[in-house]
Amino acid sequence: MQSNLTKGNIMKRIFMIDWALTLLFALTAYTGIKLHIAGHGHIHEIWHDWAVFHVIASILFLVVTIFHITTHWNWYKGIFSRGIEKRSKVTIWLSAMFTFVAITGIILFYVEGANSPIGLWHYKIGILMSVFSIGHIIKRFPILRKSLGCLKN
């Protein structure tokens, strides 16, 4: 019995996940910054609207990130079996920051997040994670750009 998952289909799936992740990263970072700015204003409805947009974008980002991690699971397994010496330090830090941002984001569902210490940690680590994410994307952008040809077929 032949599998439908040919190497081309697998690569297409990985590239679709990577492009979705890139777009959702941009949306999550943008809505997070707008949410933070709205928190300095005096109109609660504006802050609330940005909070809703940010939560929706972030949940989608989390789901697609899980798919992204599963497609690169061998890379993560290599950390445990062979150590981090030959692994990208940026990717390791990005993974750690993502974990922290995701955990603090989930905690914010259960506490009053506006101007709370956990909310400010979430924001600050989110900004730092964004910088690392941009570097991660830029390093891989030639591959992402090439993948557009693969996605057309």
Residue ranges per structural domain of the chain = 11-152
CA–CA distance, 136 with 67 (Å, rounded to integer): 17
pLDDT exceeds cutoff 60 at 153? no
pLDDT for res 151? 62
Query: What element of type H or E holds 32?
Result: helix 7-38
Q: Please give the helix or strand (H or E) that residue 101 lies within, else none.
A: helix 89-107
19-58 pLDDT, tens digit each: 999 999 999 999 999 999 998 888 989 999 999 999 999 9
The pLDDT tens digits for 88-128 are: 778 888 989 999 999 999 999 898 766 789 989 999 999 99
- Select from 75, 78, 54 the least CA-distant residue to 126: 54
Kindly report, residue by residue over 57-74, the tens digit of the pLDDT: 999 999 999 999 998 888
pLDDT of res. 113: 64
User: What pLDDT is recorded for position 3?
Assistant: 54
Summary mean pLDDT of the chain = 87
d(CA 136, CA 111): 32
- Asked if pLDDT for residue 1 goes beyond 70, the answer is no
